[in-house]
Amino acid sequence: MNPGLARLQAYPFERLRALLAAARPPAALEAISLSIGEPRHDPPSFVLDALAQQLHRLDTYPATRGLPELRVAMAAALERRYLPAGVRLDPERMVLPVCGTREALFAIIQAVIDAGSGALVAMPNPGYQIYEGGALLAGAEPYYLNLRAGHGYRPDLDAVPAAVWRRCRLLLLCSPGNPTGAVLPLEQLRAALELAERYDFIVAADECYADLYLDESRPSPSLLHAAALAGNTDFRRCLVFHSLSKRSSLPGLRSGLVAGDAALIERFLLYRTYHGCAMPLPTQLASIAAWNDDAHVSANRRLYQEKFDRVLPLLAPALPLERPEGAFYLWAPTPGDDAGFARALYEQAHLVVLPGSFMAREAHGENPGRGRVRISLVPALPQCLEAAARLREFLLNAAPAAR
């Protein structure tokens, strides 16, 4: 068997289930789940209609490369949103459809790592668990970039020793970040690319939350934009991962894209032909409709902005939190141990939140998720408000010493 399998950690939600298994929440209170990052807003009906109208296309094997019209729609969406005027993303060579960013992030690690070469994959910590699992199963060693409040929850790339960069083959970035909501500014993306040039590695930016920025006047930038500003309009060493899951509230469609360096995309296409996860044609055709429209994306984003507008003031007396820059999470400090906090909150207020330490690894002498919980504002607004009110009461009633 692949020895990496034995090194995989339990998924955070398995650990959460075990943590809460014996707890008895108050039956009088409706359970509100704020633990999972699954969008719950209504998906755009025109996308669902497009899907329904194309079901007869299930009679055909789809091509891994996807329909040309799909790649054109995806490239155009990225150009509209991220690229300076005149910079093109060639739909023939620089874009591929993927069945959601999860499988694509996992697959890219398998495609780029030379197992047994001592390769490192650098990744944010806390971070999306697939990065670590992908690295382990590819035979690489994860290198954890701890995200700390003092550094704006952005990886401190300057603090990484040169010896680490020399072994690094892939740097994974996530912006806006899960779970912190931090956005990586263009300067930091550019600095990452400079390191990639100097030490010969690839930068893969997980930008699946990129359309959910929480200040309407500050859209989150893309690694592609940083590359273009540095004159790297071939997007050499860059790959970005985008998804309709959060942008269009379509997590079940399993539709996303990877874009960037044509030479990497070509090799990744070869990998994917064997990997065998071409996107079904009805999904491709529905995805064209979704990528071609930005109005539903703004409407979706505004729903999240409204949640933060309403929830943060409600929590403020007990839990003053800064508004994150993007995504739909609060990365909240806990009085005391985060797992104990999550369990007590479930037992007393029937709220489910994810302990931060379950999303992070012990690295460089600390677990940077310890003492935090991730609160996911995905339920409908009234439920988010009810949850915020219960959380506030819970915190205000906690022993003062614990606050």
Ligand X SMILES: Cc1ncc(COP(=O)(O)O)c(C=O)c1O
Query: Which of 256, 280, 282, 324 is close enough to bind ligand X by CB under 6 A?
Result: 256
Cβ-contact 127, 12 below 8 angstroms:
no
Taking only Cα atoms into account, the Rg of the chain, rounded to an integer number of angstroms, comes to 21
Nearer to ligand X, 128 or 165 (CB): 128
Please tell me whether residue 178 binds ligand X under the rule CB under 6 A. Answer: yes
- Minimum CB separation from ligand X for residue 18, in Å? 21
Nearer to ligand X, 13 or 199 (CB): 13
Q: Which two tokens stand for residue 311?
A: 């929830």
Query: Which of 66, 97, 181, 251 is close enough to bind ligand X by CB under 6 A?
Result: 251
Binding mask 83-102 for ligand X (x = CB under 6 A): -----------------xxx
Query: Which of 173, 208, 239, 349 is close enough to bind ligand X by CB under 6 A?
Result: 208
- DSSP letter assigned to residue 36: -
Query: Which of 222, 245, 287, 300 is close enough to bind ligand X by CB under 6 A?
Result: 245
Nearer to ligand X, 137 or 349 (CB): 137
Distance CA 88, CA 112 (A): 25
**Residues near 118 by beta carbon (within 8 Å), at least 6 away in sequence:** 141, 167
- Minimum CB separation from ligand X for residue 107, in Å? 11
Nearer to ligand X, 240 or 387 (CB): 240
Nearer to ligand X, 241 or 308 (CB): 241
- Minimum CB separation from ligand X for residue 108, in Å? 12
Nearer to ligand X, 220 or 243 (CB): 243
| Helical ranges in 168-294 per DSSP H | 186-199, 223-229, 244-247, 262-275, 281-291
Distance CA 370, CA 376 (A): 17
Please tell me whether residue 124 binds ligand X under the rule CB under 6 A. Answer: no
Residue type, 121: V
Cβ-contact 238, 203 below 8 angstroms:
yes
Categorise residue 385: left if φ over 0, alpha if ψ from -120 to 50, beta otherwise: alpha
Number of residues in the chain: 403
Q: State the residues that interact with ligand X by CB under 6 A.
A: 37, 100-102, 128, 174, 178, 206, 208, 243, 245, 251, 256
